[in-house]
Amino acid sequence: MIGTSVKSQQEIVSNIGLLPKEFTPGNYVDGWTNFDLSFGRFFLNSAMVSLLTVVGNAVSCLLAAYAFARLRFRLRGMWFAIMIGTLLLPGHVLIVPQYILFRSLGLVGGEWPYLPLLIPQFLATEAFFVFLMVQFMRGIPRELDEAAKIDGASAFGIFRHVILPLSRPALVTTAIFSFIWTWNDFFRQLVFLSSLEDYTVPVALTLFIDSTSQSAVGPMFAMSVLSLLPVFLFFLAFQRMLVEGINTSGLKG
Amino acid sequence: MALTTVPDPTRRGTGSARARHGAGGRIRQSEGLAGYVFLSPWLVGLMAITAIPMLLSLYLSFTNYDILTPFSEVEWVGLANYERMFTSDPSYWHAVRVTLTFALVAVPLKLAAALGVALLLNRAWRGVGLFRSLFYLPSLLGGSVALAIVWVNMFNRDGAFNSMLALFGIEGKPWVNDPDWALETLMVLAIWQFGAPMVIFLAGLKQVPTELYEAASVDGAGRWRQFRAVTLPMLSPVIFFNLVLETINGFQGFTAAFVLSNGTGGPVDSTLMYTLNLYIKGFTDLEMGYASAMAWVFLIAIGVITAVFFSTGRFWVHYSDGEDR
């Protein structure tokens, strides 16, 4: 794939080998400037959506998980069961009404077109991360809570001084998966983003397919390579953690 | 349905909870308030992003809503959408068939590949960690558009796959443009991404006590017998978990089908997955009422399938602690 991305147009058709006879970085230049906008714009959009999603998921899921794992309140069992239930709910089922909802609020293609993608993430709708953190927090010794409680700490104090610092591994796992999933996500971004300058990388990549003329194959490969790069780098940096994360939680890749 | 089988944290530590209740109602009360404060983002999300949209979609499924007409003029059409789906929309049943075929073939093969490779990687040998990571990577890139693009190009007429066949003197075909083979190409792509269930299998294999294998080999059981009598039953909860997850995943395949067919489900509807069909109906044809009806049938189908899994699971899933988890 990387090989193809540096082949000249002629060579893509004629040379079947993995490596190009002649190194031509031109595809990267062409791909980057293929549309009216620079591809860098799409990368910026994707990076922004992904990073904000990470923040949203980390904060909101941690709060919910703390409540489920440590606090006793009425109907907790019921809410927990509902949370697990939403885990099984396919995103495709909600997409039509969510689209209508966000559209009627003027948020689709509005001033800031990423709100429909981000608002759910700040409201802990990614039940998998809530579940992951609940499981993790159940492993934190309760004696620590009790000790803090005896010292006069409130639920907020315990959260702030006991649970939050100890939850770092779970937070990091959430952050990594949150980033990678959002970076790769296509369905929601396809539905909610409508104008070219708002496109994220996956949506922009499909523009290449629209113009299936042979001339775009090289640039298309070049941009595909680039788009996988962040995920790949994340993977290299965190591979031990990713594999452990999936082991302990059954997270999906 | 599935809810009863999930470990419930509220059950745990009920004893200490009771002790605390005894300590004084005030603590409990303030904790209850704090509980709802911490839970509030999730609760708002549940209502606004999940529950209300679900009710809205249920309502819309009985209407002819098309997003262009204002809500006040939406027409209640009763069961017409459902009727059309089941009786007069051939594309609907076609998509159901495509999706079922995809799931029935790809999911078992993917799980078999995952289990096989997990067994290989469960031994300690040099470089095993590297291989684990290598096998996991495709899974991580899973639903990405880039991967699907590469895949489609690999199976093009001039793609790498045909070039490889040519080396052996076999003449290839334009796999992704051939209605008889396009779906198979997608299946191979899905099976190749067996990394996630593989890692879960590996975790499960680590839990199997080695004494069981020792005891089995003392009793004269060979490799195959050990696999069948020890590994499979001990691993059955993990197999079950993977089976449920991967089946649900399989039904939701969208990105690859979209990329391969440029959003049409082609060639000749051969890759018209259910979710892709739903997308086309809702967002291309703007028949949002009809799409909502499709979504609800989808939801119910997944619910039924999960329920069937869980009710048949008790016959072959063994929990070593004897607890019905």
pLDDT at A100 over 60: yes
- Region A66-86 average pLDDT: 93
User: Which of B49, B59, B65, B137 to probe the A interface (max A CBs under 10 A)?
Assistant: B49
Distance from CA of B56 to the nearest CA of A (A): 6
Q: Report the alpha-carbon distance of residue A43 to residue A226 in Å, rounded.
A: 9
Q: Do B133 and A235 touch (CB under 8 A)?
A: yes
Question: Which of A73, A89, A220 lies closest to B32 in CB terms?
Answer: A73
Question: Which of B49, B136, B306 lies closest to A253 in CB terms?
Answer: B136
Give residue-wise pLDDT tens across range A113-135.
Answer: 999 999 999 999 999 999 989 98
Q: What is the pLDDT of residue B163?
A: 75
Residue B212 neighbours by CB under 8 Å, 6+ apart? B230, B234
Smallest CA–CA distance from A135 into chain B, residue: B9
Tally C-beta pairs within 8 A across A and B. 271
User: Which of A15, A46, A76, A92 to probe the B interface (max B CBs under 10 A)?
Assistant: A92
Q: Do B45 and A142 touch (CB under 8 A)?
A: no
pLDDT at B62 over 80: yes
- Region B252-273 average pLDDT: 88
Question: Which of A64, A81, A154 lies closest to B41 in CB terms?
Answer: A64
* Of the candidates A29, A7, A43, A11, the residue with the CA atom closest to the CA atom of residue A205: A43
- Region B28-34 average pLDDT: 77
Query: What are the beta bridge partners of residue B76?
Result: B63
Q: If you search the block for the tokens 């979609």, which residue do you land on? A: B57
pLDDT at A18 over 60: no
**Which superfamily does B90-314 belong to?**
MetI-like (1.10.3720.10)
Q: What is the ipTM of this complex?
A: 0.86
pLDDT at A234 over 60: yes
pLDDT at A237 over 80: yes
Q: Report the alpha-carbon distance of residue A102 to residue B53 in Å, rounded.
A: 10
Which of residues B88 and A3 earns the better pLDDT score?
Answer: B88
**Chain B residues near residue A56 by CB distance under 8 angstroms:** none
Which of residues A57 and A23 earns the better pLDDT score?
Answer: A57
Cα three-residue angle A9-A14-A18, rounded to 5 degrees? 85
Q: What is the pLDDT of residue A3?
A: 57
Q: Do B6 and A84 touch (CB under 8 A)?
A: yes
pLDDT at A140 over 90: no
User: Residue B194, CB half-sphere, CA atoms under 13 Å: how many?
Assistant: 21
Smallest CA–CA distance from A129 into chain B, residue: B42
- Region A198-219 average pLDDT: 78
Distance from CA of B220 to the nearest CA of A (A): 33
Q: What is the DSSP letter of B323?
A: -
Q: What 3-state DSSP class applies to B117?
A: helix
Give residue-wise pLDDT tens across range B123-177.
Answer: 877 777 788 888 888 888 877 898 888 888 888 777 777 777 877 878 777 888 8
Q: Do B259 and A72 touch (CB under 8 A)?
A: no
User: Which of B42, B133, B249, B262 to probe the A interface (max A CBs under 10 A)?
Assistant: B42
- Region B99-116 average pLDDT: 96
Do residues A64 and B41 touch, judged by C-beta distance below 8 A?
yes
Lowest mean pLDDT of B25-39, B132-146, B191-205, B292-306, name the range: B25-39
Please report, as a single letter, which amino acid is at residue B75. E
Q: Report the alpha-carbon distance of residue B115 to residue B113 in Å, rounded.
A: 5
pLDDT, mean over chain B? 84
Given phi > 0 = left and psi -120 to 50 = alpha, else beta, which region is B67?
Answer: left
Q: Report the alpha-carbon distance of residue B292 to residue B299 in Å, rounded.
A: 10
From the number of C-beta atoms within 10 Å of its C-beta (0-12, 13-18, 19+), residue A26 rates as middle
Work out the percent of chain A whose per-residue pLDDT is above 90: 43
* Domain boundary assignment for chain B: 90-314
pLDDT at A30 over 80: no
- Region A85-112 average pLDDT: 89
Q: What is the pLDDT of residue B8?
A: 45
Q: What is the pLDDT of residue A19?
A: 60
Q: Do A186 and B145 touch (CB under 8 A)?
A: yes
Q: Do B3 and A156 touch (CB under 8 A)?
A: no
Q: Do A247 and B200 touch (CB under 8 A)?
A: yes
